[in-house]
Amino acid sequence: GGVFLDISWIKQKLPNAAEHIRKKLPSMYHQFKQLADIDITAEPMEVGPTTHYIMGGIRVDSDTQMSTVPGLFAAGECAAGINGANRLGGNSLSDLLVFGKRAGEFAAKFARDNSPGRINHDQVDQIARQALEPFDRGPSAVNPYAVEHQLQELMQSNVGIVRVESEMQQALAELAKLWRQAGQVGVGGNRDYNPAWHTALDLKNLLTVSEAITRSAIERKESRGGHFRDDYPDKSPEFATFNIVTHRGPDGQMALRREPIKPMPAELKAVIEEMK
């Protein structure tokens, strides 16, 4: 269960409190009223934490937004942006406008300056066959929704808001099991509008991101921003000097490296001090 949030107290401050709440929170009011028959203008609502944003992301060049894969550009909240250890509300719009513009400009320049890549049709055929494998196994195989649910429960319980190393190490062991299950999922039906198939295809991405988060959280032996460790509750000056980068090693396994952060320019430090 969650906790109960009561915003009806605002009626003590505003004569038209109910109308004010419906105007400011129209979607929330509608959802609770329609789905749970709860009037949030008059009674508490049950709420709980959920995933909203990942502070990391695809590693890109800060000027061009090109990733480590030549010709592949990323911008907005899928990229490792400017937010650092926590994200300020409302930053996403300015982030995607500024860096989306850069990504578009440099992607166009890259396309002009380089000849089109050559398509490896054998590789395309192989990926297509892999994508269709869940149909070959059929609906009697491992249920993709069951694997997805287990992954959600695992990450919420072991790599959630409060983290400790023992639980995260346990999560890595469970993730290895889920990887094996994900390779055995099966679906029925056809390819059109088939959410079970979409879930089966997405499990690889979900597991990759979950493993990257878990390994990075174990490596970061401190608490900073949205990352809180009960076994390391304080900030460590050492961890302010580098980023943790995840990548696939030569053996195909996920590996980590520490990428030093360039010192902040003196003029930027001065601006920050002035704004304090």
61 torsion bin: left (phi>0), alpha (psi -120 to 50), beta (else): beta
Query: Does residue 88 belong to any structural domain of this protein?
Result: no
Q: Is pLDDT above 90 for 90?
A: no
* Contact call for residues 173 and 211 (beta carbons, < 8 A): no
Residue 171, pLDDT score: 99
Query: Does residue 109 belong to any structural domain of this protein?
Result: no
> Residue 15's pLDDT band (boundaries 50, 70, 90)?
confident
How many separate domains does the chain show? 2
Query: Which domain covers residue 28, as residue numbers?
Result: 3-47
Query: Does residue 224 belong to any structural domain of this protein?
Result: yes
Q: Tell me which residue of 212, 213, 208, 233 sits closest to 222, measured CA to CA.
A: 233
Asked whether residue 37 falls in the same domain as residue 144, the answer is no
Asked whether residue 149 falls in the same domain as residue 254, the answer is yes
> Residue 54's pLDDT band (boundaries 50, 70, 90)?
confident
**208: amino acid identity, one letter:** T
Q: Is pLDDT above 80 for 31?
A: yes
Indicate which CATH number applies to the domain containing 174. 1.20.58.100
Query: Does residue 180 belong to any structural domain of this protein?
Result: yes
Query: Does residue 15 belong to any structural domain of this protein?
Result: yes
Query: Does residue 149 belong to any structural domain of this protein?
Result: yes
Enter the pTM of the model: 0.85
Q: Give helix 195-219 / helix 144-158 axis angle, nearest 10°.
A: 20
Query: Does residue 121 belong to any structural domain of this protein?
Result: no
pLDDT digits (tens, 9 = 90+) for 210-226: 999 999 999 999 999 99
For residue 187, count other CB atoms closer than 10 A to its CB: 25
Query: Does residue 237 belong to any structural domain of this protein?
Result: yes
> Residue 41's pLDDT band (boundaries 50, 70, 90)?
very high
Asked whether residue 140 falls in the same domain as residue 256, the answer is yes
pLDDT digits (tens, 9 = 90+) for 169-178: 999 999 999 9
Asked whether residue 143 falls in the same domain as residue 33, the answer is no
List Cβ<8 Å contacts ≥24 apart for 67-74: 70/110, 71/110, 71/114, 71/117, 73/103, 73/106, 73/107, 73/110, 74/103
Q: Kindly report the CA angle at 33 between 28 and 36, in degrees rounded to 5?
A: 105
On average, the pLDDT of the chain sits at 93
